[in-house]
Amino acid sequence: MRDHQRLTLLTGVQVVGLTLSGFRCTGVEYVQDGEVVAVTAAKEVVLTAGAVDTPRLLMLSGIGDAEHLRQVGVDVVHDLPGVGGNLYEHVILSGLCFAPAEPLPPPNNNLEGAVAFWRSDAGLATPDLVFVAVQIPLVSPEVGAAYPPPAGGFTLAPALGGVRSSGRLALTGPAPDAPLDIQPNMLADPADVEALVRAVEIGFDLAGQPGFSKLIGSWAAPPRRLDRVAVEEFVRLSATPFMHPVGTCAMGTGPAAVVDGDLRVHGVDGLRIADASVMPTTTSGFTHAATVMIAERAAELLVG
Length of the chain: 304
Single pTM value for the model: 0.93
Distances (CA, A) of 6 to 1, 2, 9, 40: 10, 9, 10, 15
Domains in the chain and their CATH numbers?
14-87+246-303 (3.50.50.60), 91-164+185-241 (3.30.410.40)
d(CA 205, CA 224): 12
Going by C-beta distance under 8 Å and a sequence separation of 6 or more, which residues neighbour residue 229?
Answer: none
Which uninterrupted H or E stretch holds 40? strand 35-40
* pLDDT one digit per residue (tens) for the chain, 304 residues: 678 888 889 999 999 999 999 999 999 999 999 999 999 999 999 999 999 999 999 999 999 999 999 999 999 999 999 999 999 999 999 989 999 999 988 887 778 878 999 999 999 999 999 999 999 999 999 999 999 999 899 999 999 999 999 999 999 999 999 999 999 999 999 999 999 999 999 999 999 999 888 889 999 999 999 999 999 999 999 999 999 999 999 999 999 999 999 999 999 999 999 999 999 999 988 999 999 999 999 999 999 8
> What are the catalytic residues?
244
Contact 112, 135 (CB under 8 A): yes
Looking at residue 105, its pLDDT comes to 86
